[in-house]
Every structure is written in C-alpha cells, then in structure tokens.
Amino acid sequence: MLDRRETLALAGLGLVSAGLKGAQAPAANGSSERPMLWYRQPARMWLEALPIGNGRIGAMVHGGIRSETLQLNADSWWAGRPYDPVRPGAREALPEVRRLVFAGRYAEAEALANRTLMAQPITQMPYQTIGNFVVTALNINDNDAETYRRELDLDAAVASTAFLAGGVRYERQLFASAPDGVIVMRHAADRPGAIHARLAWQLPGGGRAAGGGEDMLAMQLRNGGSAGIDGGLSAAAVAKLSARGGTVSREGDALVVRGADELVVLIRIATDYRRFDLVGGDPLAEAVRTLAAAAAKPFDMLRDTHVADHRSLFRSAALDLGRTPAAALSTDARVAISDPADDPALAALYFAYARYLLIACSRPGGQPANLQGMWNDSAKPPWGSKYTININTEMNYWLAEPTNLAECVTPLVAMIEELAVTGARTARAMYGARGWVAHHNTDLWRATAPIDFAAAGLWPTGGAWLALHLWEHYDYGRDRRFLQRVWPVMRDAALFFLDTLVPLPGTAYLVTNPSLSPENDHGRGGSVCAGPTMDMQMLRDLFDRCVAAGTLLKRDVELCRQFAAARARLVPNRIGAAGQLREWLEDWDLTARDVHHRHISHLFGIFPSHQINLDETPALAAAGRRSLELRGDAATGWGLAWRANVWARLRQGDHAHRLLVALLSSDRTYPNLFDAHPPFQIDGNFGGANAMAEMLVQSRGALIDLLPALPAAWPEGRLTGIRVRGAAEVDLAWTSGRLDEVVIRPALGGRRMLRHGTVERTVELRPGRQLRLRGPNLEV
C-alpha cells in the first residue's frame, strides 16, 4: 500500500502529465541526489533482494527484520571439472552435413548434425550457488518493526537496512570490498547491549560445517558433476565475527551473540579453481588468511577503502535526466506504477544501476559477467547461467567501453584468450582447421564444441564476435601494447574462417556451412543453413579489424592480404521483396517459423557494427528499419534492449524510448531492477543502459554524433564521462532538446567531426587539452 508521500507523488504526476512532459532542468553541477534503490519492506523473494559484489564473490541481501539472509556466490563455483567435449568422428561427418545443406535438404542436415557433430556431453556445466548465511535476531520478531527502510546506495556500493523496534533503532550495512576481498556486514543499535543474534550457514548440497573456533564459522563444499562430467572443485566459505561488548559463544554449528553494542561479520569465499584446465590449492587456508588480514582493520577503514575503490569506477560517468514527483516513490512502486515517460529519473537510475552491476560482477582477476552477472540461487539455473555468446555475453559488455568502465572488460579479454586455447583444439578436431572456434555457449571450463542441439548450437561464429570486442577495447583506448598482446587471438579467430569458408555453389562467394541465424528457424526444416547474413556481416568486420591491426602492428602481412581477399568474397547484404534486410541468403524472412523472433541477428550490421548506417549505406539502413518493423517490438528483456540500440543507431529516439519504457515496466523489470527475460538475465540491464548512451552520443571513426537519437521525453539533461572511439571523453548538457554545451577531453590528438543535428564542425584535438563548444551551433 502506498503511504502519504507516495500518494502525493502520484498526484503530482498527474500535474506533470498535464503540463511539461519529461524532466525538469538539472542543476548546473548535476543532480544532488545519490542514485539509490530503496524499499519500505524486506525482500519477500530472491528477485526483491539487493545485489552486492566485488567481482569475485557476491551476495543477495534480503534485508529481513528478524533474520538477515545473504545468498552467496563465488564467480568460479561451477559444476564439473576440466573436460574436452568434441565428439569423436565429427570431422569425418562434416562434409556430408555441408552437402545436405547446399542441396536444400535442411531437415536431413540438421538431423545428421545432431547425431554426429554435437558435443559430448550435449550440455555444458552450470554455474552454482554457494548457499546462505543467516543472522537471526533473538530479541526481535518480524512484526516488531515500527518503521523500516532498506536501500542500495549505488554511489557507495553499500546496502543497508534500518528499522525501529521496541524503541531501539537497528541498522545493518553490507558491502563487498574488492581491495580487501571480503563481504562486510555491520550490525549496530542506538542502545547499548541491544544486539542478540544467532549466526549460521545454511548448508547446501555438498556442504559441511568445518568448525572455526569461537569467532569463526567455516563451511567446506565439493561441487557436483553434470551431464556425465564428474565434479572436481572444492570451496570454503568462512565468516569471522567481531563483537563490541556482550558475549560470543558456539552452539553446535552456530555462533550466538548476546548483549553486543555492535557486531561486524567478514565473509570470504574461496575455491581451488586456478584456470580452465587447472584445479588445486587449499581454499580454506586461503579464506582464513584473507579474513585475518581484513579483520586487522577497523570497520570504518574497510568501508572507506571500499567506497573509494568503487567510486573510482562508478563516478567516471553519470547521466542526469532531471526529476519529476515520481522520483519520490520507492523503487518497486516506480516500476509497478509509474510510466518512465513521466519518470525520466528512473531511466537514469537504471543507467546507473547497470554500471553498478558491471563493477560488482566483472573485475580484473575474476570471471566475466555470466547470464546472471554473478548472482544465482540455484543448482540448476536457467540456461545454466553460462556464457551464451550468440548475443548475451557480448551484450553484457556493450556499455563497458562507452560508459567509462574499460577496466571491467579485463575478465572478458582473459576468457577470450583462454577460449583461443580450447577453441584451437575444437577447430583441429572438428573442422581440421587452423585458428580457433567457439560456438554459441561456453562455461567456466571454456568448452567450445556445439551444444544443446543443432538448431541452436551449430553456429561457428561465437568466437568471431568475441574477438571483435578485443578491437573495440583497443579502439576506445588506443593502447598499442594491448593490441600487440591480443593480435594472435584476433588473427587466429580469422584464420579459422580462411580454412572453413566454402564456395557457394554456382557463385564466386564464400559462406559458412553449416551455420544458422541464431536461434531462428527459417521454416525449411530447421535452422541449419549456409551463409546467414549475420555471419557475413560479422566476418567482414573481423577481417577488416585484423587487416587494420596487422597493418598498424606491421605483422603477418601476407596473411592480412588473404583476409582482405576472403572478405571481398563474402556474400553482400541483400534486400528482400518486402524491402527488408534479408536474414538468410534466400528471401525467407516472411515465411520463417517465427516472423517476430526475439533475435535480430541480421541487424548486427547496424548495431553493434557500423557497416550499415544512415550516412554511408542509406538504402541498407532503410531495409534494416523495415526488418525491425516486420519483426515487431515485442520481445524478451534483452530483445527489447537490442532493438532499442538499433533504433538509436537509426536516429529514432522516440521509438528507442518506447522500447525502454517497455523494458522498465513490471513485465520486464523485477522489483530490484533486475531484467526479466523472463526469468532473470542480466543482459537486458546492460543492453538497456547502453541504448541510453547510444541515444545521446555515438562515435564512428572520426565522427562524434551528439544527441543523435534524443527522445522527446528527455528534453533536458546532462551526461558526463562518456567515452568515444579514439581515446576521448565527452560531457554534454542540453535543454529543450537542443545542445547547450559539449566538453571533449582527448588523450590523443587529431581531427574529429562533431555533429549535432544538421550542424557539423571539424575540430583539432590536442592531447590533454580540454575543448569546450557551446550551443546547438557548436561555437568555440
């Protein structure tokens, strides 16, 4: 039920709708409000809990009154052990599958592929939950609270719960510290001796208590197997207590605190995972060592160090779209009731939350963000909570470069480098090819063979897409040493296709075969096909980037000539009878099994690529728009986000905003702002935030396009710290839909073309010198 404040806020919304639509002008120095998720009640389910993380370990904080439950995860806690899933005999079966595809016998080709080409086991290993840590008050019941508030401060990366019970104000603060490697929980009360609590692990399957003395609770775990692959990992979860005042005693597998003024709990989780092909070590000893170092520091020092570390990333960029009365609502009420068109601050909060989530789940030394980031409460999560690399993993990282979180890309780069190792084995064994390949999914063990079933898994260009992220990381930062490091991985991703592209019968073109347009059934007996549009677009980019990198580094000159020659023989984009961009070689779009399919794979050339754009290829851009219209707006959470990005590239800001409205609705956003596929997948959070960035700033080559897709719902605002290709940062502010000011901070010099609407201005950037232009005419 809404309280008086929320009722008044909704009443105010009616006034806003009747008058000025959208945001009020932000203050000159941006919003004074800290980005915050907050609620008037504890989480009633996991999808209402609040996430914290330090890139290696994380928790979902439920904020209960009598009991605080922390559901815990470690990024390297998966089922299974190192394994090689390539099916024996796959290489020998490949020519017949190709022949059937070229003969148009798609159902037969798919059936044969399912029998002869797919991985063993047919599924990969799922991501796992560590279990729960529970703190139960001994002197408080759930109905004792007279006031209550829980929140997640995105700027500080601190979750807190506060309530009044029996005349005592209780407060809990929780955060996951990257510098100290621990989760920290502090319980405090404004009356001495008011904290009485029982602390215990809720042991999951494979877990057992491991003692720990009078101030420590330890749990050891062994992982399970899956799909015939035995388990081979162990983990330790350890909690260390420090109470001020009162007593601490052990009661069985629990610790009991009585009469304390304050209680601080430090939690460390460690596994014996070392890399995709190596397991070993003593997780319990490692966890105890880390806790001992952290426990030597007072709480305030732990908190201050954590906040400073988080803010060094989080404050690098910000979006302010102003506030309306809807911003006074609790977060769940805003999602359930308010229209984002009337609540621009909710869109800005969603943008900030996505950046918070990426910082929390993707840090150097850890694993990349998986399908759920790093938060998972199940031993059998949806789709294994793996890395789906035919869109979802890539979407997780779209916002990293432009929103100034390049450091968070480090785990993705490391995974790509590891996939180049396992993928080389798959390339040799399955295709008889040089280079490396990855299909549509991978896991902690970097499995690269096609999984699930041919209609989804027999897609050989997952590694190609990932390799393009290496160039993106270089293009934004222009670090030549990084490009030198990843050149062999990029080169070998392209080398695989030199060996596996085959002539399209009756033409001079080269195509992939077998492949598919993820994960779409073309209606001719399945999904397996030759040369889908997405593959051709993606390989054009891959060959182009390799030629550019090889030329810059003066490496592999002859090989780069071969890349360029193969690129010239790829099938060009084609326009169908309905004016649409064809998804396949043939004009099948309107007779496919699902003409409103959630994937828009053939529009890769518009976004995230720039191959198709309004300036240089207007006819193809128009065909891409027609494809979007035919496909329709209705989609999963991440499907809405991808569509919004494409509409933004087509400079259709109002249409992109309509999709954001749908994405932020209660149908596609849970009360804790997690994206609903449904069920929960984090890619929609990241993809939706990137669409907002694309609506406000785009860069391509030497062009910086300012407010290219600004929707009418955001007439005023400010964006700071956005990165553009070529190693520069941009701040901009606008009112009444027109640019007020743009500031560019380049790390490298050179000429750039700035554009705002029909106004274009060429500027000369100088390293380290800020350039400021004012007004819609970009006056210096």
pLDDT digits (tens, 9 = 90+) for 275-332: 999 999 999 999 999 999 999 999 999 999 999 999 999 999 999 999 988 899 999 9
Helices and strands (DSSP H and E) totals, the chain: 18, 31
- The residue among 383, 377, 359, 392 whose CA lies nearest residue 178 is 359
- The residue among 240, 64, 183 whose CA lies nearest residue 135 is 64
- pLDDT digit string (tens) for 210-242? 777 789 999 999 999 999 999 999 999 999 999
Which of these ranges, 102-111, 335-344, 362-371, has the smallest mean pLDDT?
335-344
Q: What pLDDT is attached to residue 341?
A: 63
What's the whole-number mean pLDDT along residues 750-775?
Answer: 96
Q: Determine contact, residues 427/433, Cβ cutoff 8 Å.
A: yes
Q: Determine contact, residues 681/393, Cβ cutoff 8 Å.
A: no
Cis peptide before 51 (omega within 30 of 0): no
CA dist., res. 199 & res. 195, Å (int): 12
Provide the token pair at 192. 């001495």
CA dist., res. 344 & res. 24, Å (int): 9
CA dist., res. 234 & res. 272, Å (int): 6
| CB neighbourhood size of 518 (10 A) | 24
pLDDT at residue 32 tops 50: no
Which of these ranges, 5-19, 293-307, 471-485, has the smallest mean pLDDT?
5-19
- The residues, ordered by sequence, that sit 6+ positions from 775 with a Cβ below 8 Å of its Cβ are 739, 740, 741
Confidence of residue 9 (pLDDT cuts 50, 70, 90): very low
Provide the token pair at 97. 């599958």
Q: What is the mean pLDDT of the chain?
A: 94
**How long is the chain?**
780
- More confident: 740 or 343: 740
Q: What pLDDT is attached to residue 2?
A: 39
Q: Which domains are assigned to the chain? A: 31-78+126-315 (2.70.98.50), 90-120+362-632 (1.50.10.10)
- pLDDT digit string (tens) for 399-437? 999 999 999 999 999 999 999 999 999 999 999 999 999
Q: Partners of 61 in the beta sheet?
A: 50, 70
pTM (2 decimals)? 0.95
- The residues, ordered by sequence, that sit 6+ positions from 534 with a Cβ below 8 Å of its Cβ are 461, 517, 518, 583, 601, 602, 604
- More confident: 338 or 166: 166
CA dist., res. 117 & res. 429, Å (int): 11
Provide the token pair at 487. 């050149």
Q: What pLDDT is attached to residue 10?
A: 36
Confidence of residue 702 (pLDDT cuts 50, 70, 90): very high
Q: What pLDDT is attached to residue 34?
A: 87
Q: What pLDDT is attached to residue 7?
A: 39
Terminal Cα-to-Cα distance of the chain (whole angstroms): 53
pLDDT at residue 559 tops 50: yes
Provide the token pair at 194. 């008011």
Across the beta sheet with 247-251, the strand order is 50-53, 57-61, 67-74, 131-137, 195-202, 254-260, 247-251
Q: Partners of 771 in the beta sheet?
A: 744
Q: At what angle do helices 480-500 and 557-568 cross, to 10 degrees?
A: 50
CA dist., res. 213 & res. 601, Å (int): 56
| CB neighbourhood size of 198 (10 A) | 16
Provide the token pair at 159. 């979750």
- The residue among 153, 155, 151 whose CA lies nearest residue 311 is 155
Radius of gyration, CA atoms only, the chain: 27
Q: What pLDDT is attached to residue 6?
A: 40
Sign of the C-alpha dihedral, residues 519, 523, 526, 527? negative
Q: What pLDDT is attached to residue 339?
A: 64
pLDDT at residue 154 tops 70: yes
Which of these ranges, 16-20, 29-33, 517-521, has the smallest mean pLDDT?
16-20
- The residue among 204, 198, 353 whose CA lies nearest residue 269 is 204
pLDDT at residue 29 tops 60: no
CA dist., res. 515 & res. 501, Å (int): 11
- pLDDT digit string (tens) for 665-674? 999 999 999 9
The DSSP secondary-structure symbol of 3 reads -
Cis peptide before 715 (omega within 30 of 0): no
Which of these ranges, 40-44, 204-208, 340-344, 553-557, has the smallest mean pLDDT?
204-208
Which of these ranges, 6-10, 188-192, 260-264, 744-748, has the smallest mean pLDDT?
6-10
Backbone φ and ψ of 96, nearest 5°? -70, -40
Q: What pLDDT is attached to residue 489?
A: 98
pLDDT at residue 133 tops 90: yes
Q: What pLDDT is attached to residue 211?
A: 72
Q: Determine contact, residues 258/136, Cβ cutoff 8 Å.
A: no
Residue 56, classed as helix, strand or coil, is coil
Cis peptide before 711 (omega within 30 of 0): no
